[in-house]
C-alpha cells in the first residue's frame, strides 16, 4: 500500500537524528545514477556482520564523496561500530545505527565532532543505500548511519515532491524508484555514500522486528563487526527482486 505524502514526511520527521524535513531546491543534472555500479576486483568494500542475521556487503563511492567514505572506513578500522546496536528501526523506511550511546544522541566522526559529508546527485535513496544520519544538514554528519529499505514509490509521489517541495528527479532516478522503491523524499538532504551489494534481505528482516514507541527494537540487534575488505568478484545481489522482495 502506498502511503500518502504527509504520512511519509511524518515518518521522516520521527527520526530525531534524521531531522531537517524542510526541503531545499535540488537542481540535478541528467547524470547517471551510480548506486548500482559494480565494484572492481580488489576494491575496498565494507562487510558488516550482524549478530544472528549474517553479513551485509556494501560498496562505497570514494570518488564521489571522499570524506564521507574516509570517515566510515576509519571508524570501521578502529572498531568503532563493533557491538553497537541498531537503535532505530522503521519498517518500509530504514534501519539506523552507529551511535555508541544507543539512543540517537551520540556519535562522532573520525576527526572528532561533526563534518560535512556532502551530497552527490548520482547517489539516491533506493533500497540498500547507505547514508549518514544528520541533525539538520550534511554539515552535521558524524558516525550514525542508516540503510534504506523503503516501500514502492509511485510516479504521483515523485510528482508531488517536485511540485510541492521543489525537488527534481532524473528519468533514471524515477525509473529506479518506481521499479525498486526507496525513500526519494530524503534526496539532497542526506549523504548517501554506499550501496548494499549483498545482504539486502537482512536489512528487510531487521526492519520488520518488533519495536517500542521510540522505534527501538525490543530485542537488541547488534552489529558484531564492521570490516574493510577487498571485493573478490563474488555474485552481486542488490535488487529487492534478487531476494524475492
Q: What is the pLDDT of residues 38-92, one digit of tens each?
A: 999 999 999 999 999 999 999 999 999 999 999 999 999 999 999 999 999 999 9
- Side-chain half-sphere of 173: how many Cα atoms within 13 Å? 24
Residues present in the chain in total: 245
Q: Per-residue pLDDT for 134 more than 90?
A: yes
Q: Where does residue 9 rank: exposed (0-12), middle (13-18), buried (19+ CB within 10 A)?
A: middle
Q: Please report the pLDDT score of residue 16 as a whole number.
A: 40
Residue 229 cell numbers, joined: 575488505
Q: Which residue has 542475521 as its cell numbers?
A: 53
pTM for the complete prediction?
0.90
What's the structural domain count of the chain? Answer: 1
Residues of the domain holding 208: 5-243
Q: Per-residue pLDDT for 24 more than 70?
A: no
Query: CATH code at 157?
Result: 2.40.100.10
Amino acid at each position: 500500500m502506498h502511503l500518502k505524502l504527509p504520512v511519509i514526511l511524518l515518518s521522516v520527521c520521527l527520526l530525531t537524528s534524521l531531522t531537517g524535513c524542510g526541503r531545499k531546491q535540488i537542481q540535478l543534472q541528467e547524470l547517471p545514477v551510480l548506486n548500482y555500479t559494480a565494484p572492481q576486483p580488489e576494491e575496498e568494500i565494507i562487510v558488516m556482520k550482524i549478530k544472528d542475521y549474517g553479513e551485509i556487503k556494501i560498496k562505497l563511492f570514494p570518488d564521489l564523496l571522499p570524506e564521507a567514505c574516509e570517515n566510515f572506513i576509519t571508524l570501521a578500522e578502529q572498531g568503532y561500530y563493533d557491538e553497537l546496536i541498531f537503535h532505530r528501526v522503521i519498517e518500509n523506511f530504514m534501519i539506523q545505527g552507529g551511535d555508541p550511546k544507543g539512543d540517537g544522541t551520540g556519535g562522532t566522526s573520525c576527526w572528532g565532532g561533526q563534518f560535512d559529508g556532502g551530497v552527490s546527485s548520482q547517489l539516491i535513496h533506493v533500497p540498500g543505500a547507505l547514508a549518514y544520519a544528520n541533525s539538520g544538514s550534511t554539515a552535521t554528519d558524524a558516525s550514525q548511519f542508516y540503510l534504506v529499505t523503503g516501500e514502492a514509490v509511485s510516479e504521483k509521489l515523485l510528482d508531488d515532491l517536485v511540485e510541492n517541495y521543489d525537488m527534481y528527479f532524473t528519468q533514471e532516478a524515477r525509473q529506479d524508484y518506481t521499479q525498486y522503491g526507496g525513500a526519494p523524499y530524503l534526496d539532497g538532504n542526506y549523504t548517501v555514500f554506499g550501496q548494499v551489494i549483498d545482504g539486502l534481505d537482512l536489512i528487510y528482516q531487521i526492519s520488520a522486528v518488533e519495536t517500542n514507541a521510540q522505534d527501538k527494537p525490543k530485542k537488541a540487534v547488534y552489529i558484531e563487526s564492521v570490516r574493510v575488505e577487498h571485493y573478490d568478484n563474488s555474485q552481486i545481489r542488490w535488487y529487492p527482486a534478487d531476494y524475492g522482495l
